[in-house]
Amino acid sequence: MKQSANGLLSRDSTKTVLASLISILIGLVVGSVIILLVGLADPDLSLSSAWEGIRLVFGGLLSTGRDAAGALTFGFNPTNVGNMLFRATPLILTGLSVAVAFKTGLFNIGAPGQYLMGTAASLMLALGIPSETVPTGLIWCIAFLGGILAGAIWGCIPGLVKALLNINEVLACIMTNWIAANLVTWMFDGSDFRNLVENTKSGYIYKTSYNGVETAKLGLDKLFPNSQVNGGIVIAIVMAILVYILMTKTTLGYELKACGSNRHAARYAGIRDKRNIVLSMAIAGGLSGAAAALYYLSGNTEFFWSTYQTLPAIGFNGIPVALLAASNPIGVVFTGCFMSMLDIVGLQLTNLTAYNEYITDVIIATIVYLSAFSLVIRMLLSGRKKHKTAVSVETASAAGPVPAEAAPPAEAGGPETDGTEEKGGEAT
């Protein structure tokens, strides 16, 4: 019995999960400490409000508001859980997008741009095709596929310049992000897709339900009443499984991973490395596009079209989702849910206390920072168990989610606007 427990502990995957859990825990603690410090330093905030903030950081998902006496109450809150699943949908997909690129040795920081192009394409298709003549189900499918295609095409650009001109993909991705942000604004500026019916809403695009197009609920709304959840989460999970099969069970997946481990060795073995780089970025882009399509085709989200100054936070948050899951497609489903849970926590903090939702972004950033040296954490875990051999195996296979190839000349990375303002806010 003891042996099997030891065996489980020394397995690589267990250590990865443990390292991620430790990162999450430290991240939450750091968030709590900041809340405590601010609570102590600010005369308007008392220690008890800091304590409330900390309790919400850890248990925000289960928060049910305040009771008559003004104390925080906790319990199962189906609305929160449903909203968490709804928000997890795009995060899972952008996380998959970043993870697929990681496996090929590429850092896809272009997810926001691909997400924006997917948004524009699926919204234009969903609103542009007349629902009088075409069944709405078909429009939904066309718009979904259109979003994927647009994202894939946008993802191809950094892939192509990387493969053919050897421009660092991180830099190319950042440039294409901002080009996409301006392009999308340009496409919608002055168009008929803007919501001109409702007052003060002309900054937004119509909800797709305006044209009768919305994602099927699949009965999930009965399960989680009053929430925005819909069938999108099912599609996201199915896509995660498909990506898992693609990466682990097919020749293409093997070739992609071979390029990620060592591009030159892969080419020597007869694998077309340039094609695979472009293909990997196209798949990554398609997944980001799918994220956007599922988010905006839900029928109850609005897109703020004048987006040239901000990039969508969902795109950037794909990076922590993928890192935390160590680029494992199945793990991404769980870390995506965790990230969206933090979103809910942020909302609860804003609604119920004097603190604001940005503390959850601090928590996410801390987790990313820790995952940068998750290798160290994992080595500590192995060292504690005194498994000398495990250590050496661990260090040998320690490339982690990161491209093993020494980072090429150029670089750049990270969000300019971060998870600050979610311009595509959802109005129910």
Partner 1 sequence: MTFLIQQTLIYAVPLMIVALAGVFAERSGIINLALEGIMIFGAFAGVLFVNLTQQAGVFAGAKEAGNWVALQGFELLAMLVAALVGALFSLLLSFASVNLKADQTIGGTALNLLAPALVLFLIRVIANQNTLQMAEGDAASWFMIRKSTLGIDRSTDLGFLGETFINRVYLATYICILLFIVLSIILYKTRFGLRLRSCGENPQAADSLGINVYRMRYAGTTISGALAGMGGFVYALTTANCASTGDVAGFGFLALAVMIFGNWKPLNIAGAALLFGLFKCIAASYASIDINGDGAFLLAEIGISPHFYRMLPYIITLVVLAFTSRKSRAPKAEGVPYDKGQR
The residue from 248, 356, 392, 397 that contacts partner 1 (CB under 8 A) is: 356
For residue 175, the minimal CB distance to partner 1 (Å) is 5
Task: Write phi, then psi, for 66 (nearest 5 degrees).
Answer: -120, 145
Buried b (16+ CB within 10 A) or exposed e, 149-179: bbbbbbbbbbbbbbbeeebbbbbbbbbbbee
Is the CB of 9 or the CB of 183 nearer to partner 1?
Answer: 183
Of residues 182 through 201, those in contact with partner 1 by CB under 8 A are 182-183, 185-186, 189
Burial class (CB in 10 A: 0-12, 13-18, 19+), 19: buried
User: Which residues, numbered 100-119, are part of the site for partner 1 (CB under 8 A)?
Assistant: 107, 109
User: What is the rounded distance in angstroms from the CA atom of residue 326 to the CA atom of residue 20?
Assistant: 8
Does residue 268 bind partner 1 (CB under 8 A)?
no
**Which of 245, 221, 269 is CA-nearest to residue 329?**
245
Rule CB under 8 A: which of 364-383 touch partner 1?
A: 364-366, 368-369, 371-373, 375-376
Residue with tokens 């900390």: 54
Each residue 6-25 as x (binds partner 1 by CB under 8 A) or -, in order, gives --------------------
Q: Which is nearer to partner 1, 42 or 198 (CB)?
A: 42
Stretch that binds partner 1, among 80-88, 133-141, 330-338, 418-426 (CB under 8 A): 418-426
Give 204's strand partners: 304
Applying CB under 8 A, among 358, 391, 393, 426 the residue interacting with partner 1 is 358
Site for partner 1 in 199-258 (CB under 8 A): none
Contact positions with partner 1 (CB under 8 A) in 143-162: 161
Q: Count the site residues for partner 1 by CB under 8 A.
A: 63
Nearer to partner 1 among residue 38 and residue 145 (C-beta): 38
- Is 1 a binder of partner 1 (CB under 8 A)? no
- Beta-bridge partners for 194: 205
Element (H, E) at 72: strand 72-74
Q: Which of 170, 282, 341, 342 binds partner 1 (CB under 8 A)?
A: 170
Among 154, 204, 295, 355, binds partner 1 (CB under 8 A): 355
Q: How far is the CB of 364 from partner 1 (least distance, A)?
A: 6
255 by Cβ neighbours in 10 Å (0-12 / 13-18 / 19+) ranks as: buried
Amino acid making up residue 427: A
Distances (CA, A) of 170 to 158, 166, 408: 8, 11, 10
DSSP annotation of 73 reads E
Task: Please spell the DSSP secondary structure of 366-425, one letter per residue.
Answer: HHHHHHHTHHHHHHHHHHHTT-HHHHHHHHHTTTTTS-SSPP-S----S-SSTTS--TT-
| Distance (Å) of CA 144 to CA 253, 287, 400 | 24, 11, 33
Q: How far is the CB of 216 from partner 1 (least distance, A)?
A: 34
Write down the residue that tokens 């956007």 correspond to: 292
Q: Which is nearer to partner 1, 131 or 262 (CB)?
A: 262
**CA Rg value for the chain:** 22
- 420 is an interface residue for partner 1 by CB under 8 A: yes
Smallest gap from Cβ 406 to partner 1, in A, equals 5
34 to 53, contacts with partner 1 by CB under 8 A?
34, 38, 42
Contact mark string toward partner 1, 306..325, x via CB under 8 A? --xx------x--xx--x--
Contact residues: partner 1, CB under 8 A: 34, 38, 42, 107, 109, 161, 165-168, 170-172, 174-176, 178-179, 182-183, 185-186, 189, 308-309, 316, 319-320, 323, 355-356, 358-359, 361-362, 364-366, 368-369, 371-373, 375-376, 400, 402, 406-421
